[in-house]
Amino acid sequence: MTEFTLAFQDKTPLYDQLYRYVVARIRSGELTEGERVPSKRALAEHLGVSLTTVEKAYGLLTAEGYLEALPRSGFRVASSLAAIPAPTPRRMAVERRREALDECFSTAAVDTSVFPFSTWAKLSREAVYENPELLQRGEGQGDWPLRDALADFLHQYRGVDCTPEQVVLAAGLEGIMWILLQLLPRAVFGLEDPGYGSLRRLLDNLGREWAPVAVDDRGVAVQALEASGADVAYVTPSHQFPLGITTPAGRRSELLRWAYARPGRYLIEDDYDAEFRYASRPIPAMQGMDVGGRVLYVGTFSRTIAPSIRVAYLILPPELLEVYHNRFDHASATVSRFEQEALCRFLTSGAYGRHLRRVGNLYRRRRDALCAALSGWGEIRGAEAGLHLLFTLPGREESDLVARAAQAGYRVRGLGEYCMGPDPLPGTLALGFAGLPEERAAKAVEELKRAFEQIG
């Protein structure tokens, strides 16, 4: 094996060359079952590559079953090679993993089939063809016309009280969080429990401090918030994720009073899913109640238009605008200006409003179909708004339900996955319905039921 020479000029990484070389030698029979291969260190020295390169190659070879580690040290060619399937190209591996389970119950699904794609395509084309000047750098905060249109839209639809000066655009919620974390660099974040896992992961990744804050039947409990030591609370008052609770006005006032009680306290209102409300009129955003400039309002088009539209927005209170300008003076916008222009046309032409009504009706029908299919089986909660509901089978283990659903071919998530503390409703699944067509609901629920009630 030591006659192998690495092609340093080759495009393939060295570990991969080494991996392929060993695989080829095993398959051709030059290396036979049970034969001992050089130690990692010896091979690295011989080839003049780093130990890491050899470790990486041996790691892959062991993981894929070509090599096996010897009891004390060293490696040999595995003894049951007949069982090893031919290596699939790596490119395929990525694709296949995604298709494994049916994602129709995903809480993040968006049905793009009702999106007025030809209108969007036409506006996109016009946005590019008519505006070559959009190649040049725009305002870091986002271009004025879209910020203006968005301020109008949010006022009309969500009761948000702002001027375009307060609007900041960024590439998805990731881009918004990037700005928030720089605006509030010393803040301890209070995160709803249960709540978004992605936020927790993000703060952990960055080594930032956060505290869980329990959610009761009206949303974030102010006492828990006070006790948590957080300065900035990230809240979802329109439709708590994942419990589906709508925080009533009284609790909203309490939250605002909490923020006003000390300088440096802020509420980040994530208005996620607020466009979809089935049982009553939409409840205006908390931002519109804020007279003290302590609410930062956050939203995105990824759910209402399409997941690949990477435009999210942040409405800053006037008091934070100066801080924003100081810190982001030289920053560039993270959203394509052509996409900003297309979206602006989509909003101002009224096409977005029409789309929201249409897709709202579609999701209402899907919610109704899922509720009908589930009724009489377990308990349904949080189905008045948003794109998912909670479904409880008292006395059941969530992990068992999730495993059984997977065996039946469905990916579902247990409420516990979103909890930092104890699960407030054991035996509960968070079921999305935006990706579950009406005509499929009965069958999908039937299959879940069969899997859940099977013995053993």
The footprint of a copy of itself on residues 164-183 (CB under 8 A) is: 164-166, 171-172, 174-175, 178, 181-182
Question: According to the binding rule CB under 8 A, does residue 114 interact with a copy of itself?
Answer: no
- Between CA 391 and CA 425 the distance in angstroms is 10
Question: According to the binding rule CB under 8 A, does residue 121 interact with a copy of itself?
Answer: yes
Residue 171 Cβ, how far from a copy of itself at the closest point, in Å? 4
- Tell me, what amino acid is at 422? P
Count each helix (H run) and each strand (E run) in the chain, helices first: 15, 15
- 308-347 residues near a copy of itself, rule: CB under 8 A: 308-310, 318-319, 327, 330-339
- Between CA 111 and CA 192 the distance in angstroms is 27
- 50-69 residues near a copy of itself, rule: CB under 8 A: 50, 52-53, 56
| Segment interacting with a copy of itself (CB under 8 A) among 162-170, 229-237, 355-363, 424-432 | 162-170
- Between CA 399 and CA 416 the distance in angstroms is 9
Question: CA dihedral in degrees (221, 226, 232, 233; nearest 10)?
Answer: -10
Strand order of the β-sheet with 312-315 is: 167-170, 312-315, 295-300, 266-270, 232-235, 189-193, 210-216, 219-220
- 19-48 residues near a copy of itself, rule: CB under 8 A: 48
Nearer to a copy of itself, 31 or 285 (CB): 285
What is 4-21 written as a DSSP string? ----TTSSS-HHHHHHHH
Which one of residues 94, 99, 262, 439 is an interface residue with a copy of itself (CB under 8 A)? 94
Nearer to a copy of itself, 2 or 163 (CB): 163
- Encoded one letter per residue, x for contact with a copy of itself by CB under 8 A and - for no contact, window 246-265 reads --------------x-----
β-sheet bridge partners, residue 268: 234, 296
Tell me which H or E stretch contains 181. Answer: helix 172-183
Nearer to a copy of itself, 178 or 377 (CB): 178
CB 78 within 8 A of CB 33: yes
Residue 103 Cβ, how far from a copy of itself at the closest point, in Å? 10
Alpha helices in 29-171 (DSSP H): 40-47, 51-63, 90-99, 117-129, 144-158
336: left (phi over 0), alpha (psi -120 to 50) or beta: beta
- Between CA 263 and CA 134 the distance in angstroms is 40
Strand order of the β-sheet with 75-77 is: 36-37, 75-77, 67-69
CB atoms within 10 A of CB 271: 22
Residue 247 Cβ, how far from a copy of itself at the closest point, in Å? 20
Residue 338 Cβ, how far from a copy of itself at the closest point, in Å? 7
Number of residues that bind a copy of itself (CB under 8 A): 84
Residue 94 Cβ, how far from a copy of itself at the closest point, in Å? 7
Residue 339 Cβ, how far from a copy of itself at the closest point, in Å? 5
Question: According to the binding rule CB under 8 A, does residue 273 interact with a copy of itself?
Answer: no
Which one of residues 29, 86, 129, 439 is an interface residue with a copy of itself (CB under 8 A)? 129
Q: What are the structure tokens assigned to 432, written together?
A: 């999305």
- 278-307 residues near a copy of itself, rule: CB under 8 A: 291-293, 302, 305-307
Which one of residues 207, 250, 350, 456 is an interface residue with a copy of itself (CB under 8 A)? 207
CB atoms within 10 A of CB 375: 10
Q: Which residue has the tokens 């009908």?
A: 372
Nearer to a copy of itself, 293 or 409 (CB): 293
Residue 21 Cβ, how far from a copy of itself at the closest point, in Å? 16
Residue 166 Cβ, how far from a copy of itself at the closest point, in Å? 7
